[in-house]
């Protein structure tokens, strides 16, 4: 097994810092947290508050290396999983095939034993690497993407606790609650009815999915057993920070209360707002100017209201197959065409724009080439599926319509009276047209959004400052 976790290699990749500024490490878990952390790290560096360094796992290594080089930030690539086996993807596939055979021959217990045997060296390796890395780098704080994923975060949380390194988890979007997360846990490895011994031994790792009447776990059963055996299992994996990270930065009072309800110590929580909220705050201050620019840039009709639509990435997230996804997208586009208003389409960052060229060719609708946060304040009405961007509309006082023809049935936005949730297709066109043409009903919905926004975020343009201060402030929990 080849390892690149030696102390020599770690030291060689970082310069000798000649001042007393703290070193803050970042462990992004996705491209979303990578981009968020890149901005925060750049601010720490520019303001001379800390020396930031990124720990990049395989799935963000290429993009992360590029971003760090462009920003002048330091980074270390974490060892990749294949190095544990000393092989390639083929050997991993063969190992998983053998596990499936063991499950078929000996049932859940046989499959679980084989899966644990396969996962054990991976977790051992990650814990060893995390321990060595923190010993050598000696960061003041480790900032993590969610503080609850099984990919590297379990290992680093354990290492932080044993070495006294402060762990911080900032919220970068709506943090999915357990009732939302259970819907994405699919397969026998998550089902309590299949792994009955695991469910009996670790009931706190399971949550009930009312749509399937099944108790499901946040992690596969083999991860639960191995993480527990190695002292790396989180007491509550359904929340940011897993219930034990030192400081969780939440967007507002609503998220603060959700964590309290989950049993999180309030001393571990701090309301900061999100960095994206500052961008929205700035755009709101120049709303009329932004609106003129958007209308001119996309050649919109000056006499018509503006609907901004964020198309749901149903296939990209694995919620629907490609054919059904296309049918749903075409239904939405036809509905947009049927209303008397301008419509500007915003594509999710995960979506390949080339796959959606037909929107302009077949429907004549305009697609924004800017991030949604840069244009949303210009909208009269916003529509999306269940997305954290609905909260953006609440903050901006923009009536919002959530489309849910896909069986999600989430209740996360039920308390926002200015958000309409539509799950009957025949009602959608009328809802759009009413909000866009009836000024009285639009004003009522807008006021309800504004009245609801206070618990979402401080929304004062200083959220980023609070996040940065919390990261470097040694007075916060550690």
pLDDT digits (tens, 9 = 90+) for 388-408: 899 999 999 999 999 998 888
153's tokens: 């975060």
Compute the chain's Rg from CA coordinates.
Answer: 24
Q: Which residue has the tokens 């996309």?
A: 298
Query: Are residues 73 and 102 in contact, defined by beta-carbon separation less than 8 angstroms?
Result: no
pLDDT of residue 83: 47
CA–CA separation, 277 and 208 (whole Å) = 33
Tell me the CATH number of domain 7-178+221-274+461-472, given options 3.40.50.1220, 3.40.30.10, 2.30.30.90, 3.40.50.2000: 3.40.50.2000
pLDDT of residue 460: 96
CA–CA separation, 312 and 384 (whole Å) = 6
32's tokens: 């979303």
pLDDT digits 0-9 by tens, 112-130: 888 888 889 999 999 999 9
* pLDDT (average), residues 358-385: 93
pLDDT digits 0-9 by tens, 213-270: 899 999 999 999 999 999 999 999 998 899 899 999 999 999 999 899 988 999 999 9
CA–CA separation, 435 and 450 (whole Å) = 16
* pLDDT (average), residues 329-351: 91
Global pTM reads 0.87
Q: In percent, how much of the chain has pLDDT > 90? A: 65
- For the chain, what is the mean pLDDT? 88
105's tokens: 């021959």
Is residue 179 classed exposed, middle or buried when 0-12, 13-18 and 19+ CB atoms within 10 A define those classes? middle
The DSSP secondary-structure symbol of 239 reads S
317 Cβ contact partners less than 8 Å away, ≥ 6 residues apart:
350
pLDDT digits 0-9 by tens, 416-448: 999 999 999 999 999 999 999 999 999 999 999
CA–CA separation, 384 and 406 (whole Å) = 13
pLDDT digits 0-9 by tens, 184-197: 787 888 999 989 99
* pLDDT (average), residues 37-66: 94
pLDDT of residue 478: 41
The DSSP secondary-structure symbol of 145 reads S
16's tokens: 């000798």
Write the DSSP assignment of 339-385 as a string of letters: SSSEEEEE--TTS-GGGGTHHHHHH--EE--S-HHHHGGG-SEEEES
Write the DSSP assignment of 158-175 as a string of letters: HHHHHHT-EEEEE--S--
The DSSP secondary-structure symbol of 299 reads T
* pLDDT (average), residues 12-34: 86
Mean pLDDT lowest among 192-201, 260-269, 318-327, 378-387:
318-327
pLDDT of residue 68: 93
Query: Are residues 220 and 226 in contact, defined by beta-carbon separation less than 8 angstroms?
Result: no
391 Cβ contact partners less than 8 Å away, ≥ 6 residues apart:
174, 251, 456
81's tokens: 């999983």
User: Which is it for strands 166-170 and 247-250: parallel, antiparallel or unpaired?
Assistant: parallel
| Buried/exposed 433-463: b ≥16 CB within 10 Å, e otherwise | bbbbeeeeebeebbebbeebbeebbbbebeb
Q: In this model, does residue 346 exceed pLDDT 70?
A: yes
Q: Where in the chain is the domain with CATH 3.40.50.2000?
A: 7-178+221-274+461-472, 286-455
Using DSSP's 3-state secondary structure scheme, residue 135 falls into: helix
pLDDT digits 0-9 by tens, 162-191: 999 999 999 886 656 677 777 778 788 899
Q: Name the CATH superfamily for 286-455.
A: Glycogen Phosphorylase B; (3.40.50.2000)
Q: Among 300, 445, 429, 454, which Cα is nearest to 367's? A: 300
Using DSSP's 3-state secondary structure scheme, residue 58 falls into: helix
pLDDT of residue 6: 46
Quickly state the pLDDT bin for 150 (edges 50, 70, 90): confident
Outline where 169-321 has alpha helix (H).
178-181, 196-201, 221-229, 253-261, 275-285, 287-297
106's tokens: 């000996």
pLDDT of residue 313: 81
Query: Are residues 271 and 251 in contact, defined by beta-carbon separation less than 8 angstroms?
Result: yes
3-state helix, strand, coil in the chain (%, to 5): 50, 15, 35
Q: In this model, does residue 386 exceed pLDDT 60?
A: yes
């Amino acid at each position: 097994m080849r390892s690149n976790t030696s102390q020599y290699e770690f030291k060689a990749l970082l310069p000798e810092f000649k001042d007393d500024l703290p070193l803050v490490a970042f462990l992004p878990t996705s491209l979303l947290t990578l981009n968020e952390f890149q901005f925060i790290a750049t601010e720490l560096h520019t303001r001379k508050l800390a020396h930031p360094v990124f720990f990049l796992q395989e799935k963000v290594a290429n993009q992360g290396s590029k971003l760090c080089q462009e920003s002048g930030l330091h980074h270390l690539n974490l060892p990749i999983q294949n190095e544990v086996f000393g092989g390639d993807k083929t050997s991993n596939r063969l190992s998983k095939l053998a596990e499936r055979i063991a499950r078929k021959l000996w049932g859940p217990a046989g499959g679980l034993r084989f899966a644990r045997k396969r996962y054990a060296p991976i977790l051992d390796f990650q814990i060893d690497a995390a321990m060595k890395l923190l010993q050598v780098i000696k960061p003041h704080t480790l900032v993590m993407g969610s503080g609850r994923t099984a990919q590297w975060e379990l290992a680093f949380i354990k290492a932080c606790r044993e070495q006294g390194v402060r762990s911080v988890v900032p919220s970068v979007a709506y943090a999915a609650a357990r009732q939302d997360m259970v819907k994405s846990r699919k397969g026998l490895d998550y089902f309590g009815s299949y792994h009955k011994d695991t469910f009996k031994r670790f009931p706190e790792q399971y949550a009930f999915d009312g749509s399937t009447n099944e108790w499901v776990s946040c992690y596969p059963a083999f991860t639960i057993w191995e993480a527990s055996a190695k002292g790396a299992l989180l007491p509550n994996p359904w929340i940011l920070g897993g219930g034990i990270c030192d400081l969780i930065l939440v967007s507002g009072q609503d998220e603060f209360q959700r964590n309290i309800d989950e049993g999180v110590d309030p001393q571990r929580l701090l309301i900061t707002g999100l960095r994206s909220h500052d961008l929205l705050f700035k755009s709101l201050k120049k709303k009329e100017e932004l609106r003129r620019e958007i209308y001119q840039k996309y050649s919109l009709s000056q006499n018509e209201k503006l609907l901004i639509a964020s198309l749901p990435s149903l296939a990209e997230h694995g919620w629907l197959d490609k054919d059904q996804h296309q049918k749903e997208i075409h239904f939405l586009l036809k509905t947009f065409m049927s209303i008397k208003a301008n419509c500007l389409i915003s594509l999710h960052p995960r979506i390949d724009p080339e796959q959606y060229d037909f929107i302009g060719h077949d429907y004549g609708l305009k697609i924004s080439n800017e991030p949604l946060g840069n244009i949303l304040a210009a909208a009269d009405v916003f529509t999306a599926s269940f997305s954290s961007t609905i909260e953006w509309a609440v903050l901006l006082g923009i009536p919002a319509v959530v489309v849910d023809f896909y069986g999600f049935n989430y209740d996360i936005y039920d308390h926002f009276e200015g958000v309409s949730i539509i799950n009957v297709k025949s009602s959608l066109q009328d809802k759009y047209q009413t909000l866009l043409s009836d000024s009285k009903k639009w004003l009522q919905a807008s006021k309800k959004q504004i009245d609801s926004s206070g618990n979402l975020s401080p929304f004062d343009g200083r959220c980023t400052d609070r996040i940065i201060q919390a990261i470097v402030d040694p007075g916060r929990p550690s």
